[in-house]
Amino acid sequence: MARSSAANLPFEMELVLLWWLVSDMTLGRLGTLYDTSLWYDKALHLGNSVFVGMLGFLAVYVLHFTGKFSARKLVTGIMIVLLTLGVGAFWEILEYLADVFFAKGAQGSPLLAPLDDTMWDLILDGVGGVIGGVLGPIYMRHSKRSRSRMRTFAELVDGRSRL
């Protein structure tokens, strides 16, 4: 897969991932926006959840495309939201453990207590999952490169499963 440009993440998603890394590490941590702005953390949490929701959609789409999974759109949407909530909950657990073992202050914000901050983060994870589950199919339907990339990826997945 690494040698083939046809089976990688869509370019737009790579840009979103790069933006997240820059905004988290540079602006959030070094620029101290996490410490000074309540909404900076929430905007990043929502954006990350949309990204995870779209990745969840891509996983379900590949399974559907290869014939390994078939479900109605509602079931697929629920799966994407639950996947996004699961990733968000795992992230919150990591933040909690960082606070307990390393005293990092990862939970809470300038205006919210740690429990309120965690609950809003999980709510935004759910909203992001819904948005990602809606934007994923729209992207796939309108992307010219989508079909050929998914076909190539499906061939790679099918080829590995036969080994």
Higher pLDDT, 5 or 104: 104
* Per-residue tokens: 85: 């909530």
- How crowded is residue 161: how many other Cβ atoms within 10 Å of its Cβ? 9
* Boundaries of domain holding 79: 5-161
- Residue 1 — pLDDT band, cuts 50, 70, 90? very low
- Cα gap 60→111, rounded to integer Å: 38
Q: What is the pLDDT of residues 35-60, one digit of tens each?
A: 788 788 888 888 888 888 888 888 87
Count of structural domains, the chain: 1
Residue type for position 66? T
pTM: 0.72
Q: What is the pLDDT of residues 71-99, one digit of tens each?
A: 777 888 888 889 999 999 998 899 889 88
Give ∠ CA 91-97-103 in degrees, rounded to 5. 120
R_g of the chain computed on alpha carbons: 18
